[in-house]
Amino acid sequence: MYIRSTGNISPQKTFGHQPLVDAVVYTGNRLACIEPDYKAFIDPKQIRRMSRIIRMGVAAAMECLQEAGIKEPDAIVTGTAYGCLEDTNLFLSKMVEFNEDLLTPTAFIQSTHNTIGAQIGLLLKSNHYNNTFVHRGFSFESALLDGMMLLNENEATNVLVGAIDEITNPSHAILNRMALYKQGPVSNLDIYKTRSRGTIAGEGSAFFLLAKEPSGKDYAKLDGLHTFYKPAGDSEIEEQLNAFLEKQGVKYNDIDLIITGNNGDAGGDKVYEQLAKSLFQNNDLINYKHLCGEYPTASAFAMWLGATVIRSGELPAVLNYTGSAGKKINRVLIYNHYLGIHHSLSLLSAC
C-alpha cells in the first residue's frame, strides 16, 4: 500500500509541505506546534468554535486530502493518547470550581476522544467508516493497522489515517511532576548530548492518505507495521526486530536509513544505543525527537519524516545524517518506543 499524501502540523515548519531546512530551536522542556493560518482549510466561523487540537487535527487532515486530490476518503481513522485535553480540562475545572453547577455542554461535547475524527467526517459530510484509537503509545499504530486492514479486506481503496496529541498547561504540569521531562534550560538540539534523565515534551498532528493502488505521485510504499508490548529485555527486542524483517523479506543491509525514537532520556535511549552497536551496526541512523519532542503519537512524525525523505531524496542538516552524501534512500525502517512500554516498527520503501 502507498502513502499518497501527508499533512503535518508540528513544532517545526512542516505545514504547507515546505522542505525541512533549519530547525526551530526551543529552550525549555516544552515544544509547541507552529499553527498555520487556518482560513485556507477551515471556514472561519467554524474555527472559532474549535479548540486548538481540533483545529490542528482538522487542518492537517484537510491539507492531506487536498494534496491527494480526494474529497471523501473511504475511511477516517484517528489515534490520540490523551484526546481533547483542553476541553476536558475546561469542563472538569468548571465542574470542580462550581461544584457541579452552572455548566454548559460545549466543552463536554468537544472533550470526547473521537471529536477530531468526527469533525472531519462532519465537515466532509462523510457517512463512511470512522474510528478512533486511544491506546497510549500505540494510538497511531492501531489507527494505522486499522487502515491497512481495511485496504487488505477490500473494504476501502483509500483511508485517511492520523494521529493528534496536544500538551496543555495542566497536562504538562502533571507529566513534569511524574519526572518525564528534563529540568532546567535545555535546547532541543542538545537533548542527545546531555545524558540526563527525562526528555522534552512535544505535540503534533500528522495525517496520511493510505491507498491500495499507486497514483504515480506517492511519497512511499508502506511495506509493514509491527508493534510489541512490554518486551522482557533487549534480547526480546532483537528477536522482534529480526522476526519482523524476516517476515518482510528484508535484511539489515537492505535498509538505507533507520529512524530511531531517541528522546534524550538516558534510560530510555539505552536500547537504541545498544542496537546501534549490534543489529544496526552497519546502518545509517537518524533521530527525530529533537524536532517534535516526545509524546505518545510522536511516531506519526517519524512516518512523515521517513516518507518525506524517501520522496525528496533530501537529508537536511537538521537530521544530523552521518552516512554517505548523495546516497539514494530507498528503504527506511522506523523503530520507536514510548516509555519502554510500546514498541513499533514500520518499514517504508521508494515507489
Instruction: Kindly list the residues in this chain that would bind other proteins in the complex (CB under 8 A).
Output: 76, 81-83, 91-93, 95-97, 99-101, 103-105, 108-115, 117-119, 121-122, 124-136, 138-139, 142, 145-146, 149, 152-153, 170, 173-174, 177-178, 227, 229-230, 341
Least spacing, CB of residue 22 vs other proteins, in Å? 34
Comparison of 36 and 121: residue with beta carbon closer to other proteins? 121
Minimum distance from CB of 71 to other proteins (Å)?
14
> Is 13 or 136 the residue whose CB approaches other proteins more closely?
136
Strands (E), the chain: 2-9, 75-79, 129-133, 158-165, 204-211, 220-229, 257-260, 285-287, 331-338, 342-349
> Are 341 and 216 in contact, with CB atoms under 8 Å apart?
no
Q: How far is CA 298 from the centre of its chain?
A: 4
Which is nearer to other proteins, 125 or 328 (by Cβ)? 125
Cα–Cα distance for residue pair 82/296, rounded to 1 Å: 8
C-beta of residue 200 within 8 angstroms of C-beta of residue 26: yes
Please identify, using beta-carbon distances, which residue of 170 and 316 lies nearer to other proteins. 170
Q: Least distance (Å) from other proteins to the CB of residue 304?
A: 22
Q: How far is the CB of 132 from other proteins (least distance, A)?
A: 5
Measured distance CA(324)–CA(245) in Å, rounded: 24
Rounded to the nearest 5 degrees, what angle is found at the Cα of 325, between the Cα atoms of 322 and 331?
80
CB of 326 to other proteins, least distance (A): 39
Residues 193, 326: contact at Cβ < 8 Å? Answer: no
| Burial letters 333-344, b for 16+ CB under 10 A, else e | bbbbbbbeebbb
Of the pair 12, 114, the CB lying nearest other proteins is at: 114
The residue among 154 and 324 lying less far from other proteins, judged by its C-beta, is 154
* 173: alpha, beta or left? (left if phi > 0; alpha if psi -120 to 50): alpha
CB-based contact 61:145 (threshold 8 Å): no
Distance of closest approach, residue 349 Cβ to other proteins, in angstroms? 21
